[in-house]
Amino acid sequence: MSEDSTRTTWFVTGASRGFGRELTEQLLARGHRVAATLRRPEQLDDLAARYQDQLWVRALDVTDTAQLRHVMAAAFADLGRVDVVVSNAGLGVFGAAEDLTDEQVETMIATNLTASIQLARAAVPHLRDQGGGRLLQLSSMGGHIAFPAFSMYHATKWGIEGFYESLAVEVEPFGIRTTLVEPGMIRSTFYEAATRVPVSAPYRGTPADRSPIPVEQMPGDQAKVVAAMIEAGLSPEPPRRLLLGSDAYRLVRDALAARLAEVEAQEERAAATDVDPG
């Protein structure tokens, strides 16, 4: 797949703001077609007026699996082909695990994990029928590491990482390649939109009682992150994981090195639990 020789078609969830809006804008500016989905389609009226037939817009609540499958099928039917499916829709709820409501826990899992799984499941048959394509899943450096007060966010990102680790091997025989996009802390609207739950009395002064880093102090550039995503989506050999941001590289590398050291220290103990020979 080459950007220079072919106009590609991308399916994007969560296109109203943040990475989704930036991705839609950059793709359209480069001449590609975009099937943009979001809860309120009128939020893209300005782009629709400017790019007209280049932009296909539909309402979508990704937690509605029946609607998701219908919109996915309509995009392939109307556009003839979708080269890259981008699972971007997601949300953040930050606070000590005990302090979150049941509804917040269930909503995080439904939006960030279950909907991402169902999106991939809905896309794969269409991608296979057309001979291949790309799946880009927005994950995070938080799919490898964890911070206090982010437990449910990490649960969804570690979960989608495991799903894609298996899915990648299942679908590659059909010409479908997958990429987990793992940004660090990026200056985007994600943090402004996230819900922050005040810590309860027992957690005051503990690691869960932390002030958020101001967005202006975050190292990542949203436009550069999205440009790297486009490059990966167009690459003939896309990476299975795409770390973006100097903080993501440093923190994930250090976490994996520490985890590997812990594993290696347990080699003898692990072997001692095998069945005795004979």
Active site residues: 139, 153, 157
In angstroms, the CA 154 to CA 39 distance is 24
**Closest CA relative to residue 156, chosen from 192, 112, 216:** 112
Q: Which two tokens stand for residue 268?
A: 């003898």
Longest dimension (CA), the chain: 75
In angstroms, the CA 91 to CA 14 distance is 10
User: Under a CB-based contact definition with an 8 Å cutoff, are residues 151 and 97 in contact?
Assistant: yes
**Closest CA relative to residue 56, chosen from 112, 122, 77, 133:** 77
Residue 15 amino acid letter? A
User: Under a CB-based contact definition with an 8 Å cutoff, are residues 255 and 193 in contact?
Assistant: no
Cα dist from 150 to 11, 88, 97, 128, 143, whole Å = 29, 19, 8, 36, 11
